Amino acid sequence: TAELAWTPAWDRADGDERARTLFAATFGDAPDGVWSAPGRVNLIGEHTDYNGGLALPIALPHRTYAAVRRRGDDVVRLVSAQEPSGVREVRLADAVPGAVEGWAAYVVGVAWALREAGHDVGGFDVAIDSCVPFGAGLSSSAALEASVAVALDALFAAGLAGDVVDGAATDDAGRSTLAGLCVRAENEMAGAPTGGMDQAASLRARADHALLLDCRDGRVRHVPFDLAAHGLALLVVDTRAPHSHVDGEYAQRRAACERAAGLLGVGTLREVADDPRGSADALERLAAADDGAVLVRRVRHVVDEIARVSAFVERLDAGDVTGVGPVMDASHASLRDDYEVSCRELDVAVDAARAAGALGARMTGGGFGGSAIALVPAGAVEDVASAVAAAFAAADLRAPAFAVAVAAPPAG
């Protein structure tokens, strides 16, 4: 059998050194410092964030590293080891929504959002290197935003990011604000209409814990999540199928939810989810709309998925970690059949993982490609990965890549 492709997380010192080396080679001298931020996998609660719902991500050990030096003018110079296009240069005075193309929009967008919020952020040089796979549904864009956000917070004294002590952020309220600014960067500068889960995971998650995020009010609870203690592991399958949130499908799903909320006269679908007796009635009312059949499926996913987050957390709280497997399976079926955001590669990945002994498996992130996660006995990681790779080969799909996820520290 062919060798499996693993995507290891860099050791923190190694990631630091890579960003420093790129900075020195590009700009001369040393940066003022190196900051970094993790990608994420979401355990459950998909397409709920922009509906005021619940989500349960963990931060990955895979991080994006930003070596940054403050300048005395309003110029931003950027370079990334992942972008062969060389050094980009943008003046902050010109950095308005729509004016900055490509990956630079995520970086400059954070500076723009901090300035919009009244922080005195000026120009800087930044060199980026990352082991968060790009476009794999593991929030490489949120990791990029958050690494730059904590760097600018420190260099321009915004006072929002605090510190990270023993894998936990010291100022969650400040980080909640910073996450909101990263969302503005992504929505308004990069033009991707995403919710806020990914930025919250990168900035507010805690090592060895899952982040129970209530998107109605931004409140969080840190739920202990130590799979190794239960003899389990979380296998990530990066399908390497192309996907993008800037494209229309994600925006269409979000628009359908907003239309359904409007028809029902509620602010967000969370209100429907919080009223179990009313939700059957709501689905009936939606069925009467022109696009009723689609709206019913979309809303049913959101309402059920919010309930599944609660069920998942209840099982974790009760120490019944294997019990979350069926909840993951149900989430995948709902995303595939009701929300229609899965794809062949994701379905092959979860089916093969389950057949090879996974206790539960589901797509994670926005969908239409990207990654799946599988809860597996710790001793079976290699075997399940091999079975998934074999299923991809048999289905004539491009070979997937694999990683093992543990709940890692937030940006810092």
Burial category of 178 from C-beta neighbours within 10 Å (exposed 0-12, middle 13-18, buried 19 and up) = buried
3-state SS, residue 401: strand
- φ, ψ (nearest 5 deg) of residue 323: -65, -15
Residue 46 in contact with ligand GAF, rule: CB under 6 A? yes
**Residue 228: CB minimum distance to ligand GAF, A:** 26
| Annotated catalytic residue, options 16, 153, 198, 238 | 198
**Residue 331: CB minimum distance to ligand GAF, A:** 10
DSSP character for 324? G
Residue 196 and residue 203: Cα distance in Å, rounded? Answer: 11
**Residue 47: CB minimum distance to ligand GAF, A:** 5
User: Please, which residue, 369 or 409, has the CB nearer to ligand GAF?
Assistant: 369
Residue 47 in contact with ligand GAF, rule: CB under 6 A? yes
User: Please, which residue, 22 or 41, has the CB nearer to ligand GAF?
Assistant: 41
Residue 21 and residue 34: Cα distance in Å, rounded? Answer: 11
Torsion angle of alpha carbons 106, 107, 112, 118, nearest 10°? 120
User: Please, which residue, 197 or 361, has the CB nearer to ligand GAF?
Assistant: 197
Amino acid at 292: G
With tokens 């968060």, the residue in question is: 132
Q: Which residue among 197, 207, 328, 408 contacts ligand GAF (CB under 6 A)?
A: 197
Residue 59 and residue 78: Cα distance in Å, rounded? Answer: 25
Burial category of 146 from C-beta neighbours within 10 Å (exposed 0-12, middle 13-18, buried 19 and up) = buried
**Residue 125: CB minimum distance to ligand GAF, A:** 28
* Contact (CB, 8 A) for 201 and 211: yes
Q: Which residue among 52, 123, 366, 369 contacts ligand GAF (CB under 6 A)?
A: 366
Q: Which tokens sit at 377? A: 């006995």
- Mark whether 198 is an active-site residue: yes
* CA distance from start to end of the chain: 40
Task: Using the rule CB under 6 A, give the single segment among 39-47, 61-69, 77-85, 315-323 that binds ligand GAF.
Answer: 39-47
Task: Using the rule CB under 6 A, give the single segment among 119-127, 162-170, 193-201, 353-361 that binds ligand GAF.
Answer: 193-201
Residue 198 in contact with ligand GAF, rule: CB under 6 A? yes
Residue 53 in contact with ligand GAF, rule: CB under 6 A? no
Amino acid at 182: C
User: Please, which residue, 366 or 369, has the CB nearer to ligand GAF?
Assistant: 366
CA 305 → CA 53, 192, 205, 374, 409, distances in Å?
9, 23, 21, 18, 26
Beta strands in 87-123 (DSSP E): 88-91
User: Please, which residue, 306 or 404, has the CB nearer to ligand GAF?
Assistant: 306
User: Please, which residue, 57 or 360, has the CB nearer to ligand GAF?
Assistant: 57
Residue 338 in contact with ligand GAF, rule: CB under 6 A? no
Amino acid at 49: D
Burial category of 214 from C-beta neighbours within 10 Å (exposed 0-12, middle 13-18, buried 19 and up) = middle
Task: Using the rule CB under 6 A, give the single segment among 2-10, 156-164, 195-203, 310-318 that binds ligand GAF.
Answer: 195-203
Q: Which residue among 140, 194, 331, 342 contacts ligand GAF (CB under 6 A)?
A: 194
Residue 49 in contact with ligand GAF, rule: CB under 6 A? yes
Binding residue count for ligand GAF, defined by CB under 6 A = 12
Q: Which residue among 53, 325, 365, 400 contacts ligand GAF (CB under 6 A)?
A: 365
**Residue 52: CB minimum distance to ligand GAF, A:** 12
**Residue 382: CB minimum distance to ligand GAF, A:** 28
**Residue 240: CB minimum distance to ligand GAF, A:** 17
Burial category of 51 from C-beta neighbours within 10 Å (exposed 0-12, middle 13-18, buried 19 and up) = buried
Residue list 217-246, contact with ligand GAF (CB under 6 A): 245
Task: Using the rule CB under 6 A, give the single segment among 41-49, 165-173, 270-278, 319-327 that binds ligand GAF.
Answer: 41-49
Amino acid at 226: D
Residue 205 and residue 235: Cα distance in Å, rounded? Answer: 19
Active site residues: 198
Footprint on this chain of ligand GAF (rule: CB under 6 A): 42, 46-47, 49-50, 194-195, 197-198, 245, 365-366
